[in-house]
Structures are given as structure tokens and as C-alpha cells.
Structure 1
Amino acid sequence: MIRRRRPDEAQLFHDAWDGRGVASAEVTSLVRTAEQICAAAADVQPSEDFRATLRASLMTEAATVLKPVTETKPDRFVEVATVAPSRGRRRVAGLAIATVTAVGAVGMVSGSANAVPGDALYGVKRGVEQVELSLRQSPESRGTYQLQRAATRLTEAKALSESSGSQDAVAGLLNDFSEQAESGSTTLFDDFTNDGSTSSIQAVNRFTAKAATSLASLSGDVPDDARAPFEQAAATVSDLVDEVAGLCSTCTDVDGL
């Protein structure tokens, strides 16, 4: 009996990226997110200084790695069949090229961490969040990360409000906060109900404590057009506090999230 080889997940993604074959919903979602990141990153190009430094580094490495090999004459003639590069070697070469190409994008991703709506790298930041969420498998991990994203939306809203940023952007961030807070909490509540994981519900409890503090700090800076989303965000936190108390009255750990 011949055991069928399990498909290579990286190859499945590669095929879907190239438009070959029928991809699963999960792989399709990853491809869509990767396309969004590439589209956002396309608007930001590495500086000339970065390009020059990278080129110099590659040339230095090439001088070491690509040293000419002294040709030696074999004692006797041996016919050697030409062998095409293996699939594995081709994939390694492809990954090497992709790595060099992506060096600039790595800097963009790193630099996007503090971006807010209106910044060139903000689309990259949100795209990276989607990728990381898709990589988290357990309900507790996914739910907790959603709450971390929600907390980030409040930080962004605070930054925009203090700098007199777009009122529409602040309102959008507060709406995103409510959506992500509800989504992450629902996942964690379900995890607690199904598996009795107190750490899941404690994560919600810690989140609501910090979110309440952040909202209180933000309240004085909220623009008029964002007042309704702000009140909805506050109501969302209040509802989550009530749900935590109803599900587990003893889950009162409010240490850092």
C-alpha cells in the first residue's frame, strides 16, 4: 500500500498565489490578506540609502561565496549525466530570491507598528494583524489577540484625537474597537463555556478593566462626530463586564493583559 504524501502547506499557498488549483477557504483567506499587504506596501519604497547599503552587503557576500574554483584535470575521463535541479533546490532558490526582495518590506512592517489612519503604512499594519490572527489556532489565542487588536484601536483613536486628526477616522476606530472587542470576547466566552478555561474569561476581565481606563482618558478628546461610536464603545465594555460576572463571579484577576 502506498501512503499518499500530505500536501505541503507552503506549496498549497504558492499554487493558490499563482492561481493554480482549487484552494481551501483558509488558504484563500491567507492569499487575500497577502495581496492586501503587498498592495499597501507597494506605495512605500525603500530609500536610496537602504538600496545602496543592501547592494554593498550583497556584493561583499558575493565576493566571499562566489570565489572562483581552481579547475583540476581529472585523472581520467568520467561521463557525468546532466541532472536538473531538484524541486527542493528550486524552491530554496526561489525562497532566497523572495527573501532578498522582501528585505525592504520587512522594514515597512516593522515601521508600521505605530501607524495610525492616514499614515502610508497603516494598511500594512492592519494587513499584518489579519495574517497573525489567521495563524492563531486555539480559541483562547485567537480571542486574546482580538482583544489586543481592540486595545490598539483605542490607542490609535487617542493619538488621532490628541492631534486633531480626522473625526471620521476616530469614529471608525471606535467602531472597530467595539466589533473586535465583541468578537474576541465571544470566542473567549465560548472557550470558557465549552472547556471551563478560566484563563479565557480572565482575559476578558483584564481587557475590560484596561479598556475602561483608556476610554475614560479618551473621553475629553473625542470629537463631536465620534461621540456616538464612543458611547457605543463604552456600552460594549459595560456589557462585557456584566457577561463576565454572569459567567464566572470568581474570575476577578485584573492583572496585565
Structure 2
Amino acid sequence: MDSDLFSRRRAERFAQLLDEANGGRRQHKRSRVDDQLAALVAVGQRLSAAPPAVEVDPEFRTGLRAMLLATAEREGIGAPATDAASGSTTRRTKAFRPSLLPAVTARRARARGAILVGIAAGAVAVSGISAASENAVPGDALYGMKRSTERAQLALTSSDVSRGQLFLGFARTRLSEAAELRGDRAGYSGVLDDMDADTRQGVRLLTGAAVQRSDPAPLDAVNTFVTAQRQAVSGLLDDGTRTERDRTRRSLALLDAVRKRSDALRAAIACGLPAPAGSDALGPAPATCPADR
């Protein structure tokens, strides 16, 4: 069976069912997939009747809009129809074909439009759940949604600098979660592990961008992050158990290593950026600048 054809028919039927649910002309036939699509149609009705009262993040809205516009352009949604008829086509043929082709084209456009509307509605619904999950910590029901939202943000970001800054933002979020997990030995250690992993990812992307561009600007974001993050992480040493303090010091050591790497790369860029001596979890490892420079 042609899976593309099957998917297109499901999409077209979904568009018809949505039209019917919203008061459109009812079709005098049923499809074998109607029962499977009933739940999706119900979701569409609920979203139309009571849209979530959520303020969508502007960056997320911009990324979603770009994705939808790209999809619309690729699928030809909204493009003016071209007249394929030759100059010698008779009036009878011209009178007959418009009664058939526009109907087929309109159904396909409605189906594709329904898919795009479904994506947008789903994104708005997800953004509502995302807003509700902002304060979730490991072990909460919505924590998985919180982390999924972070992955979606990364997927919508293309440049290494922007992705690096996002990872550092996630590291700040993990720090606030750690403060809520004091006394939970496994949970506290686990969230600091995630924080350190986000820190390494963000720093690696930003230091790599600085070296590639021979521009210290991405390192400014690293230094700003380290200054604030180190002060906040140091606060976790107060009133913690010995095990928690030992684990916290490991994160502080990582931040110190990040600052040292950033300063070394800045000096290397200033003296002409000798070829890196290699790379590791924090990105390029700069070579020592020549003494005569």
C-alpha cells in the first residue's frame, strides 16, 4: 500500500471531520479511520472552544512561525494556481475542468491547512503545559515535559552561539532545582550531574564559536555565566550534608576550569590565535602564545 497516499487520505478525512464538527456540510459517508480520528477531532473542538490562556514565549512563537511558513512554502499552501491550459483549449474544456480540479485542490489545501493548524494548536497546548511545568523538579509529574520543552527549544535554534547560551540557561535552571532537592541525596547529586553536563555543552559550543570566528564575544557570555553561577553554587554549601558539600565542590571546580579555559582562549585570540593544542569537553584547548608577541 502507498503509505503517502494513505496518509494523505487520513489527513483529508481529518479535515472533513473538523469541518463537520465546526458546523460544516456533513458528508454522507463514513470512513474506516473515523473512530481513530475521533479523539483528535475532540481535541480540536476543545482547543477551539477554550484556547489556553497562556502567554507564549516570543522566541518560541518566532521559531514556530518560521517552521510553519517553511512548511507552507514547501507544500505550496496559499500559492496561486497556475493555468495549465494551452491557448487552443476549447471553451467547453475550460468550463468543465474548473468544476473538478479546484475541488480536489481545495480538499488537499484544507487537509494540509488542517495539519498546520493542528501543529499550531498542539504547540499552543504544549506551551500551556510547559508554563505549568516551569517549577517542576525531578520526581514531579511534569518534569519530563519541562525537559522536553528544553529539547524543543534546542531544535528550533540553529547557531552554536544561541545553542550554547541555551545550555547555560538550562544549567541555571538545574541549579534552582538542586536548591529544592536538599536532603534528597540521589536527587541532589543527579540534578547537579545534569547541571554540569549542560555547562560543558554550552561552554564547548561558545568556546568553539569564539575560536572559529577569532572573536572573543562568545567568551563574554561564558564569563558572565561563570561569575553568577559560581556565587549561586557556593550558596549550596551552606547547611548541606557532607556528601552534598563534596558533590557541590565538584561543580565549583568545573566552573573554575571553565573560567581558566575562557581566559586562556581570550589571550590566544588576542595574540593571533595559534593552532589549538586539541579539544576536550570544554572545547578547544589553546596553545601557549609565543613569548615575542
Q: Structure 1 residues 96, 114: closer, same or farther in 2, change over 3 A?
A: same
Partner of 2:116: 95
TM score, norm. by length of structure 1: 0.61
Partner of 2:165: 144
Cα displacement string for residues 166-221 of structure 1 (whole angstroms, at most 9, x for unaligned residues): 32111011111111111211111111111122220011101110111111111114
Aligned partners of 2:254, 2:123: CA distance in 1, in Å? 40
Aligned partners of 2:173, 2:243: CA distance in 1, in Å? 21
Unaligned stretches of 5+ residues in structure 2: 9-43, 52-94, 270-293
Which AA in structure 2 matches 1:203? A
Partner of 2:265: 247
Which AA in structure 2 matches 1:143? G
Paired residue for 1:184, among 202, 214, 222? Answer: 202
Unaligned stretches of 5+ residues in structure 1: 1-10, 16-50, 59-77, 252-257
Aligned partners of 1:183, 1:101: CA distance in 2, in Å? 29
Aligned partners of 1:183, 1:214: CA distance in 2, in Å? 20
Paired residue for 1:81, among 77, 100, 122? Answer: 100
8 A Cα contact 1:171 1:225, kept in partner: no
Aligned partners of 2:126, 2:151: CA distance in 1, in Å? 16
Which AA in structure 2 matches 1:121? L
Q: State the shift of 1:99 in Å.
A: 4.5
Secondary structure, aligned partner of 1:119: coil
Partner of 1:119: 140
Aligned partners of 1:103, 1:139: CA distance in 2, in Å? 27
8 A Cα contact 2:167 2:199, kept in partner: yes
Q: Which moved more, 1:188-197 or 1:222-231?
A: 222-231
Larger radius of gyration: 2
Aligned partners of 1:98, 1:134: CA distance in 2, in Å? 15
Secondary structure, aligned partner of 2:222: helix
Q: Structure 1 residues 52, 91: closer, same or farther in 2, change over 3 A?
A: closer
Q: What is the aligned-residue identity percentage?
A: 29
Aligned partners of 2:191, 2:252: CA distance in 1, in Å? 13
Q: Structure 1 residues 246, 114: closer, same or farther in 2, change over 3 A?
A: same
8 A Cα contact 1:168 1:226, kept in partner: no
Aligned-residue CA RMSD (Å): 3.2
TM score, norm. by length of structure 2: 0.54
Paired residue for 1:133, among 137, 141, 154? Answer: 154
Partner of 1:167: 185
Paired residue for 1:205, among 223, 231, 237? Answer: 223
After superposition, residues 34-45 of structure 1 pair within 5 angstroms as none
Q: State the shift of 1:138 in Å.
A: 1.3
Does 2:258 align with 1:237? Answer: no
8 A Cα contact 2:226 2:259, kept in partner: yes
Which AA in structure 1 matches 2:216? T
Aligned partners of 2:123, 2:262: CA distance in 1, in Å? 44
Q: Which moved more, 1:193-202 or 1:79-88?
A: 79-88
Which AA in structure 1 matches 2:259? V
Partner of 1:157: 178
Aligned partners of 2:260, 2:231: CA distance in 1, in Å? 17
Partner of 1:108: 129
Secondary structure, aligned partner of 1:248: helix
Partner of 1:62: none
8 A Cα contact 1:109 1:124, kept in partner: yes
